[in-house]
Amino acid sequence: MNAPLLSARGVTRRFGGRIACREVSFDLWPGEVLGIVGESGSGKTTLLNCLAGRLAPDEGTITYDSAAAGTVDVHALSEARRRLLARTEWGFVNQDAREGLRMGVSAGANIGERLMAIGARHYGSIRQTASDWLARVEIDLDRLDDRPTTYSGGMRQRLQIARNLVSEPRLVFMDEPTGGLDVSVQARLLDLLRGLVDRFHLSAVLVTHDLGVARLLTHRLMVMQGGRVVEHGLTDQVLDDPQHAYTQMLVASILPV
Amino acid sequence: MTTMLPVLRVSALNKSFVVHAQGGLALPVLRDVALSVAPGECLALVGPSGAGKSTLLRSLYGNYRPQSGSIQVRHHDRWVELVGAEPRITLDVRRRTMGFVSQFLRVIPRVGALDVVAEPMVRLGASPEDARRRAGLLLGLLGIPERLWPLPPATFSGGEQQRVNIARSLIADYPILLLDEPTASLDTANRDRVVELVRRRREAGAAIVGIFHDVAVRDAVATRLHDVALPGAQP
Ligand SMILES: Nc1ncnc2c1ncn2[C@@H]1O[C@H](COP(=O)(O)OP(=O)(O)OP(=O)(O)O)[C@@H](O)[C@H]1O
Ligand SMILES: Nc1ncnc2c1ncn2[C@@H]1O[C@H](COP(=O)(O)OP(=O)(O)OP(=O)(O)O)[C@@H](O)[C@H]1O
Ligand SMILES: [Mg+2]
Ligand SMILES: [Mg+2]
């Protein structure tokens, strides 16, 4: 608990002449869930992808306190080591579940693949763990051998979460995990995520445009506008006592959360 | 008189609100606030509506961010400064040292009342069974019928929600308790139950800061008063 798990320093990323995210710095401590909110195009996904090693920043560094290798500079690692890190110590929940799942193989294989990536080899126990996780995310066990192509959007998203959490990652990145789902499905998913965060002491970076989701799931919040972080603090501080004009506008323009 | 050392010390605290949509003028609410509270004391904040009582209480909890001054809390046998504290420090103080009863319960979708109440104790490492047992005890003391325990409080009446909220804030035996009108929407019988619980907590050594509009409640629980003046009023 005396070193940050993830540190960003001066992270900047441009696309052509346009700056998508600029000079972002923060520390994420073990057990913390950090929310990133802001309007469409403010740079949330760009920042998340930089943090998760999927997109190289033009400037700045991201360091991660890895279980396997101590502190590493995420973007200085070789592609192979970065992939290994992502497979073994991280999870990434995409907004679009189709991008985070292998649509051509069964649900069980989707979950099992992650277990094999961290060294599991025993077929019976992999299948058992896959079943346990399917139950945990409230998917009927008789769907274990079905492909995600036959799943609804909400089920796919829950499967994607199971696939990512089954290996008990130390850090999870999530991009709008409840986006595009109807309200009751969202509530179940939120409840699930909330329980998992508590139970596994997850550390996570969560992008959302929904302040209600942020209130429920995150400890801290960063508010982005035009690629910059304009406000940063405890989630309830930022939502109840917003300081920046943009945050005040954001909080004022929604129903009470 | 007790000679207990304080566990909460506030000095030179200033808080104003700047609402950008209203021209960005600063509304000063807290000016040079100083107070301290020792175990076994209950400090009641008094003052007219809009004076800043809730603002002060929320600042003590780290929910509102004062511009300057100091809020020190005795936490793990050390003094911790909350003004400008890192989020993880404030969160740790809230987890172990300081409880807050707000006027409204923030409902958590799909979680039943019993688990809503048990949660802070589970987070402190208690087993879910022990936490649920204690939660049931508190809900019982607060007159919430057992048939409601498994239900999410979203559909409860205002008074029921408030009592769930109180139970949630009392379950962890925090050494410091902040109460914002804990009896506001309760009938007399339930009000008396809350008063009794708060008094017992105080006698057991909690340091309490509260806002109690009801004078009978205030007389029953408070050991000292602290005046909060309307912004703009001359001290
Ligand atoms: N691959 C890309 N090529 C060019 N421009 C891009 C690319 N990805 C993002 N951008 C631009 O960078 C800016 C930030 O985009 P980003 O996707 O990070 O926003 P966002 O905050 O995630 O928005 P949303 O809430 O709509 O998902 C936008 O102006 C976007 O058009
Ligand atoms: N989050 C906020 N943003 C802007 N102004 C606020 C905020 N919270 C409180 N205020 C303002 O601060 C002043 C004090 O409000 P506060 O709620 O602290 O009063 P109070 O003494 O608790 O009143 P009451 O007895 O009516 O509850 C009011 O003018 C209020 O409008
Ligand atoms: Mg995005
Ligand atoms: Mg008030």
For the segment B136-165, what is each residue's pLDDT rounded down to a tens digit? 999 999 999 999 999 999 889 888 999 999
Sheet containing B98-101: give its strands across.
B98-101, B176-180, B207-211, B42-46, B224-227
- The secondary structure of B159-172 as a DSSP string is HHHHHHHHHHHHTT
Of all protein residues, the one whose alpha carbon is nearest to atom 4 of ligand 1 is A15
Q: Does the beta carbon of A45 sit less than 6 angstroms from any atom of ligand 1?
A: yes
Q: Does the beta carbon of B54 sit less than 6 angstroms from any atom of ligand 2?
A: yes
Q: Does the beta carbon of A225 sit less than 6 angstroms from any atom of ligand 1?
A: no
- Using an 8 Å Cβ cutoff, are A200 and A168 in contact? yes
Instruction: Tell me, in angstroms, the distance from the centre of ligand 2 to residue B118's CA.
Output: 31
Question: What number does the ligand 2 atom closest to the CA of B58 have?
Answer: 18
Instruction: Tell me, in angstroms, the distance from the centre of ligand 2 to residue B97's CA.
Output: 25
Q: What is the pLDDT of residue A171?
A: 95
pTM to 2 decimal places: 0.92
- The secondary structure of A136-169 as a DSSP string is HTT--GGGTTS-GGGS-HHHHHHHHHHHHHTT--
Using CB atoms within 10 Å of the CB of residue A255, give its burial: 0 to 12 exposed, 13 to 18 middle, 19+ buried. Answer: exposed
A230–B contact, CB cutoff 8 A: no
The residues spanned by each domain of chain A are: 1-89+170-257, 101-168
Q: What is the pLDDT of residue B77?
A: 92
Q: Is A94 helix (H, G, I), strand (E, B) or coil?
A: coil
In the predicted model, is pLDDT for residue B91 greater than 80?
yes
Tokens of B81: 């400064």
Query: What distance in Å separates the CA atoms of residue B175 and residue B202, rounded to the nearest whole number?
Result: 9
- The secondary structure of A176-220 as a DSSP string is STTTT--HHHHHHHHHHHHHHHHHHT-EEEEE-S-HHHHHHH-SE
Of all protein residues, the one whose alpha carbon is nearest to atom 16 of ligand 2 is B52
Query: What distance in Å separates the CA atoms of residue B99 and residue B201, rounded to the nearest whole number?
Result: 12
Q: Does the beta carbon of A20 sit less than 6 angstroms from any atom of ligand 1?
A: yes
In the predicted model, what is the mean pLDDT of residues B4-29?
A: 93
pLDDT truncated to tens, each residue of chain A (257 aa)? 579 999 999 999 999 989 999 999 999 999 999 999 998 999 999 999 999 999 999 999 999 999 988 999 999 999 999 999 999 999 999 989 999 999 999 999 999 998 998 888 888 899 999 999 999 888 999 999 999 999 998 899 999 999 998 988 999 999 998 877 777 777 777 888 888 888 888 899 999 988 988 998 899 999 999 999 999 999 999 999 999 999 999 998 876 65
- Using an 8 Å Cβ cutoff, are A120 and A126 in contact? yes
CB contact under 8 A, B20 and A248: yes
Q: How far is CA A122 from CA A87, A110, A115, B1, B128, in A?
A: 19, 16, 10, 69, 32
- What confidence tens digit (pLDDT) does each residue in B157-213 have? 888 999 999 999 999 999 999 999 999 889 999 999 999 999 999 999 999 999 999
Q: What is the pLDDT of residue A92?
A: 96
Q: Between B58, B87, B122, which is nearest A233 by CB?
A: B87
Question: What number does the ligand 1 atom closest to the CA of A48 have?
Answer: 18
Bridge partner residues of B98 (DSSP): B176
pLDDT band at B2; cut points 50, 70, 90 = low
User: Which ligand is located closest to the Cα atom of residue B30?
Assistant: 2
Tokens of B53: 């009582």
CB contact under 8 A, A241 and B122: no
| Residue length of chain A | 257
- Domain B8-97+174-227 fold is Rossmann fold (3.40.50)
Percent of chain B topping pLDDT 70: 97
Query: What distance in Å separates the CA atoms of residue A29 and residue A4, rounded to the nearest whole number?
Result: 4
The interface residues of chain A toward chain B in range 170-189, judged by CB-CB distance below 8 A, are 187-188
User: Which ligand is located closest to the Cα atom of residue A49?
Assistant: 1
Q: What residue has token string 């000095």?
A: B11
The interface residues of chain B toward chain A in range 50-89, judged by CB-CB distance below 8 A, are 58, 62-65, 87-88
Q: Between B19, B109, B123, which is nearest A190 by CB?
A: B109
- What confidence tens digit (pLDDT) does each residue in A120-162 have? 888 889 999 999 999 988 899 999 999 999 999 889 999 999 9
According to DSSP, residue B146 is labeled G
B27–A contact, CB cutoff 8 A: no
Q: What is the pLDDT of residue A154?
A: 87
Q: Does the beta carbon of B49 sit less than 6 angstroms from any atom of ligand 2?
A: yes
Q: What is the pLDDT of residue B234?
A: 55
Chain centroid to CA B165: 10
| Pocket mutation for ligand 2, best pick of B54, B57, B67 (most atoms within 8 Å of C-beta) | B54
Residue spans of beta strands (DSSP E) within B60-190: 68-75, 78-81, 98-101, 176-180
Bridge partner residues of B26 (DSSP): B18
- Residue range(s) of every CATH 3.40.50.300 domain in chain B: 8-97+174-227
| Residue length of chain B | 235
Query: What distance in Å separates the CA atoms of residue B233 and residue B235, rounded to the nearest whole number?
Result: 6
Q: Which CATH number fits domain A1-89+170-257: 3.40.50.300, 3.40.30.10, 2.60.40.10, 1.20.1370.20?
A: 3.40.50.300
Query: What distance in Å separates the CA atoms of residue B224 and residue B2, rounded to the nearest whole number?
Result: 13
